[in-house]
Chain A
């Protein structure tokens, strides 16, 4: 089982909100982890969005709109990227990442379609 699991795809309408999940493998508690989120559009390198550990330990990427926000769902053992007020330009692949056992680990990515 992968360390980080993301749904492969998600669709949402313009103006709506989208909640992207990043679930940690059973046995790895989301609690202490900083979860990083990246956006990648075709033909471009990933762009850092934000990292979230707690409300007192979080960071927004430079120039990243506040409609991108992070949180955790401890009961689901997952990190969440919430995108509100969806715009067509938000259509992209989204990846989560953590530092685990002396390695950076990426989730498999979620392809977000805005239609």
Chain B
């Protein structure tokens, strides 16, 4: 059972454009929603995270939008750059432990 559904699985965006990745979850016990960025040959690195009592969080060019009633959240990358080309994972966690449920991942390619 895929508890965190992520789309699209691949995304091509022009430099300067907005990249949008969407996720939906089912388990209402989730209370922490991180996004990870992974470059080839590297482990995932935390990009930005949000808790369900906040509807939006922005860090630089990266923004998470969160809709608790719809059980959906999304990542927006503004002014996308070629260096943003990576695989992005949405994730969810409950209870403060390290058990993280990941989405399937979105391979983002930003073309010049």
Does A pair with B?
Answer: no
